[in-house]
Structure 1
Amino acid sequence: MCGRYLINRTAPVIKQLLTRLEEQGFSVKTGEIFPSNEVPVMILGENEEVDAADMTWGFHGFRKGQLIINARSETVMEKKMFAKAFRETRCVFPTSGFYEWDEQKEKFLLKEDDVVYLAGFYKKFEDGFRCIILTTAANESVAPIHDRMPVVLNQEELLPWLKDLQFAEEILEKEMPELTSVKIEK
């Protein structure tokens, strides 16, 4: 489901992105990231290249105080709240992994290498730009912990994800990579 994730500043890709945002005057949180935090994302820049942006994680919901942080990949193109943003303004969340909890409320960090790229999209609200993470059915590496997981991209898929709607639609159907789970001790 992806209700929290990790940003570790030591990963070179993440460090470069954070440095670029800090040079633009943004103060970016690292460590464990929670819904409603200001987060770094990768977007399609003016020159059709990957660029950095700072947005709030979560769309405003239908009820006061409601925050929607994930969208199901299976229905994203049908839901009025998500369809236009998915078609026009996709983004990528560069993370060091994401957290899930199993039925016993044990917390796990799911990761691969230094960076896990999570597929998402964004739109502008009255209070600024807000972004959301796409989820899909869990693969074999995540299913023992949770039945959902974020849509994970590899580095070669970042620019096509941001630029090409047909490619993005195809990604929604792809097999997710195997991830390593690390139990977080309290």
Structure 2
Amino acid sequence: MCGRFYLDSYHDKVREFLESAQEKFPDQVFATGEIYPSSTILSLGANQQGEISPGYTKWGFTNPRNKQLLINARSETVTEKPTFKTPFNKYRCVFPMTGYYEWDKDKKKHYIQSGDLIFAAGFFRRTTHNQQTSFESIILTQDSAPAISTIHNRMPVFIPEAKIAQWILDNAFAIDYLANQAHNYPTYFTSSVQ
């Protein structure tokens, strides 16, 4: 997956999520529209009571060695990589989006959507710098669905809305879900060149 997605703030459910998150975090400015790495993004995770709740993360893990952000992780190896293993096991979340972008081999930009709100699987970590805590997040990717494979060979892992709580709260479910990726595609995709 390339590094951009879209969040339509006029979508009813998105608006509800944003209003709830803004009440809890009034000082945060949430990115909407076309979203880039390092943006503060709407994220759904578990609160301290174990309930699924809207919040925020910054898209991308900082990399102190080369200053580049790590924005994606391969679902096939996430439980093996030292950088990702612990946050994946402890802090899974999902990212609401109304579509995402990919560039094909001819560098044409495609907007890909499934017709409704979709939820990309991911995880986050807490970091502290100069006594400031931040929450950095990663989007998981998988091999592309057949409808997308002619555009790009990778795509986000999507979680059905009914399974969000299981994804976030149940390690065994999350690991099994990633192991059965062929079943993880939304019903259909459409794409348009931007």
TM-score normalised by the shorter chain: which range applies?
Answer: over 0.9
Query: Per the alignment, in what secondary structure is the counterpart of residue 116 of structure 2?
Result: coil
Q: Which whole-Å CA distance do the structure 2 matches of 1:49 and 1:116 have between them?
A: 20
Alignment partner, residue 154 of structure 1: 160
Give the fraction of aligned pairs with identical amino acids, expressed as a percent: 35
1:182 aligns with 2:182: no
Given that 2:127 and 2:136 are in contact with CA atoms closer than 8 Å, whether structure 1 keeps it comes out as: yes
Report 1:100-119 matches (<5 A).
100-119=102-121
- Pick from 117, 130, 138 the counterpart of residue 144 of structure 2: 138
Structure 1 runs of 4+ off > 4 angstroms? none
Deviations 1:12-53 (A, max 9, x none): 221111111222302212100000011110001222221111
Deviation at 1:179, TM superposition (A): 3.5
Q: Which whole-Å CA distance do the structure 1 matches of 2:121 and 2:172 have between them?
A: 15
Query: Aligned residue pairs: how many?
Result: 185
Point out where structure 2 has 5 or more consecutive residues left out of the alignment: none
Deviations 1:99-154 (A, max 9, x none): 11111111111111221100000001124110000001111011010000000111
Q: TM-score, normalised by structure 2?
A: 0.90
Alignment partner, residue 15 of structure 1: 15
Given that 1:139 and 1:178 are in contact with CA atoms closer than 8 Å, whether structure 2 keeps it comes out as: no
Point out where structure 1 has 5 or more consecutive residues left out of the alignment: none
| RMSD across aligned positions (CA) | 1.3
Q: TM-score, normalised by structure 1?
A: 0.94
Query: Per the alignment, in what secondary structure is the counterpart of residue 153 of structure 1?
Result: coil
Report 1:25-64 matches (<5 A).
25=26, 26-64=28-66
Query: Per the alignment, in what secondary structure is the counterpart of residue 78 of structure 2?
Result: coil
